[in-house]
Chain A
Amino acid sequence: MLHNIKGNYITSVKDHVRQYNEKSFRKLASNNFKSWPNPREETWRLSRLGVLSRKEITPIIPDYKKNFSSFSKFNGSKIIRFVDGALREDLSSNLPPGLSLNILGEEDSLRCFHKFKDSNLKDHPSTNVSFSCTPSIVKLTIEKDVKIRDFFEIIYEGGDDNLSVHPALHIELKDNSSITIIERFNHLSSLIMPLQLVELKKNASMNSLKIFNDSQQSYNLSANCTFLSEKSNYNSFSLIKGGLFTRSETHAYLKGKNCNLNLNGVYLSSKNQHHDLTTAIYHDVPKCTSKQIVRGVLGGESTGVFQGKVRVAPDAQKTDGQQMSRAILLSENATANAKPELEIYADDVICAHGATVGEIDDEQLFYIKSRGVSEKKAKLILITAFLKDIINDTVEESIQNFVFEEAEQALSEIISKEI
């Protein structure tokens, strides 16, 4: 059925995939997604995809007539809309000068494909499947010296039961450019396999906010590959709240000196949700900093996973890498896993990591209750503070309130079920 998908370059990428790694492609894509990463594979041990293999899922054929009118949540922001994984220029805003949106041709698509295949995302299921199933790879380019002040919202929606969607986006920030992008995943699909390649050129700066809020039955396996050049700055925050199973996996390659990376996130999980933030940071050159702060709040029978790998190459002296994860469990049946992994081959580096999983602090709870505040409200106050803390510390100031409101909704849902 993959043959149904249109677009010449896709056929050729697909041909190429076959040659490149026929085995894994056949295993995953041409077999109706019947075969998924084995739970014995280290990076999928805590996030198993077994259930998916029992489902019949077919890649969607985008319906370019589907209409969506979900509004921008952010007053005045520009919108780029993907429906069924395909770019819908007719439903998107006009772009300001210095910014362009293109559908990549065969050669550039192949280049994207190779970027993924040469990275450690090479065996990620979305890498294996989406390059052949995406309707097109879309590229957003921010020209040299252009600093975009408007907010950009990219909304991904559409999809349907037993269908998979495959949006693929390549973002390139040329020298000295900057932008803030808010991405919202609001699919109704069984399976979502987004690909994103971000290239930050010299001195470029990007704030990225991703809000994962797909439907209750969705699996979202987002794969992101980011390259940072000299003095560039990538500040990303993922808020995971929706879906049945959401895994946001980001691999960042620090390739130029003095660049700065933040990969932060929060997951808010209830019922039988499974949320996973997986990151890999590759310090290949000296004098770069990376920081990761992850927090989770879990209720019901949900599971949260944070896997953070930091690799410091022998040449990457004066690296500063920090990693900290904390999770609060509101129910006995919820589980949080944290797996930090440091591989340090240089000697002059500062790398710190820590992980805690716990319940709400008894003493704090009693103190608040002793002032007449109900237990439920007291818990909400404490968890809100727990989240506000990370949002205020890590999210760009102008979007802090927005992120907080998005989190608050999911939070009160979790709490109302637990008490």
Chain B
Amino acid sequence: MSLLEIKNAKLNLDDKNILKDLSFSVNRGEVHAIMGPNGSGKSTLSYMLAGRDGYELESGDIYLDGQSLSEMEADERARSGLFLAFQYPVELPGVGGMSFLREAVNSRRKFLGEDELDHLAFVKEARKVASKMSVKDDMLKRAVNVGFSGGEKKRFEILQMAMLKPKVSILDETDSGLDVDALKIVSDGVNAQRNDDNAIVVITHYQRLLDYIVPDFVHILSDGRIIKSGGPELALEVEKNGYAGLINAA
């Protein structure tokens, strides 16, 4: 059984049809890349999966580890093991990074029937993960994403992913805004979490990221449809020739 399965997903925003009969599935241990022109519906897809209000499916269904997500709220989906690294992480003035992380981690642990971490154990764990991601302790003390640079925000997203240990992670343009060194650090952070039981969907415009996080499959999304799927070579083709040829052929 696939870990994530999207079946004939159709979604409208303000009466405009954005996702049109979209299907694909991701198995355990796999990395899938989704590429596509601006406005093709990549972030819409990620919001739809994460369960943002207003992004409910018109028809079709999605399954996480065999369980339908359609009727679940965003928080329930996350506790079940779905994670979205935002293209534009949201600033939370007044909400401290450490307590935010702790709240998130304990919600997931509780769901899994594990004991909640006490403050000390949690701080220790968070610091360990943070240092792996080259996130300074100081950043955890600050309000979530407030005043973070573009690259720091992306690193903080992957730090959250590492703490939450999701089954399926969707990374929406996590590479944008990262300098060369940070790209390597973040990619290493993501790769360190890959195992046979989880799966990752990376949304990106650039082959560069896929050099580090090597995908098993690449899907080209155009105008709300997957117009072509293939192996890593498909990303190289896009890098070389752009989308025009692929879109025309579809």
Contacts and interface: CB of A to CB of B under 8 A. Distances in A.
A369 B78 contact: yes
B90 A367 contact: yes
Interface stretch (A117-125, A189-197, A384-392): A384-392
B122 interface: no
Interface string B63-106: 00000000001110111000110100111111100001001100
Interface stretch (A140-148, A161-169, A373-381): A373-381
B107 interface: yes
Given A362-B53, A366-B53, A366-B74, A372 B107 contact: yes
A372 B79 contact: yes
B32 interface: no
A372 B81 CA distance: 9
B226 interface: no
B78 A364 contact: no
A366 B143 CA distance: 17
B26 interface: no
Nearest 4 pairs of A and B residues by beta carbon = A385-B94, A372-B78, A371-B104, A367-B90
B95 A381 contact: yes
A371 B103 CA distance: 9
B75 A378 contact: yes
A374 B84 contact: no
Given A370-B78, A371-B160, A373-B107, A363 B94 contact: no
A371 B86 CA distance: 11
A22 B94 CA distance: 52
Given A377-B103, A381-B100, A372 B164 contact: yes
B148 interface: no
Contacts of B92: 364, 367-368, 381-382, 385
A389 B93 contact: yes
B89 A372 contact: no
B240 to A, nearest CB: 35
Interface in B174-229: none
Contacts of A366: 50, 52-53, 74, 90
A261 to B, nearest CB: 25
Contacts of A377: 103, 107
Contacts of B10: none
A42 to B, nearest CB: 35
B26 to A, nearest CB: 19
A369 B94 contact: no
B108 interface: yes
A370 B95 contact: no
A375 B77 CA distance: 12
Interface string B120-131: 000000000000
Interface in A322-381: 362-364, 366-375, 377-378, 381
A371 B95 contact: no
Contact of A372 (B90, B91, B94, B104): B104
B164 A371 contact: yes
Given A381-B95, A381-B100, A385-B95, A371 B90 contact: no
A364 B50 CA distance: 14
Nearest to A374: B75
B38 to A, nearest CB: 20
A369 B73 contact: yes
19 contacts: A366-B74, A367-B86, A367-B89, A367-B90, A369-B74, A369-B75, A370-B52, A370-B84, A370-B86, A371-B100, A372-B79, A372-B111, A373-B78, A377-B103, A381-B100, A381-B103, A382-B95, A385-B143, A389-B93
